[in-house]
Amino acid sequence: MTDSSPRQGADNMSADAQRQNTQTFIEERILRRIPVEILALSLAIAVGSLVFFSPLTGLFILAGGAFSSATFLWLKSALNRFLSQDRKKAIRSGLVFYLLRLALLLGVFLIIILLFPRMVLAFVAGFSTVILVFFVEAVRALSQIKSWKS
């Protein structure tokens, strides 16, 4: 028979709350780091592309990374705002937000296609750095897990 005093219960709840706070802190740190990593990676690719391509190509790679970073920050702030609302209003606002975001993405790509058709792939290369950054962050987070069972 175990001794389950109120003190032990409070200690367990305190430890759970502390673990939750630590996890939230780690997640916030990662979410703050992602836009910076997107910009840094797109800058590195843009500088590396100068060896093989024109400076305009490097500029479009960097612009794609900057746009990707900005849309990530916009998405993060919008999700924080929507999650603080009631469910019905959040669904409506979220739907409008995602449609607006899709229209913005399509508009930017349309402008690039119409004005700079040869630079679309460079912009996409910069915009796609978010995928590599997410992959690296996932591998980093998985490597820090001490056990698969909690």
pLDDT of residue 147: 56
Round the average pLDDT of the chain to a whole number and report it: 84
Let me know the angle formed at the C-alpha of 75 by 109 and 122, rounded to the nearest 5 degrees: 30
Residue 101 burial by CB count (10 A; 0-12/13-18/19+): exposed, middle or buried?
A: middle
Residues 6+ apart with CB under 8 A from 75: 101
pTM of the model: 0.76
pLDDT bracket for residue 142 (50, 70, 90):
confident
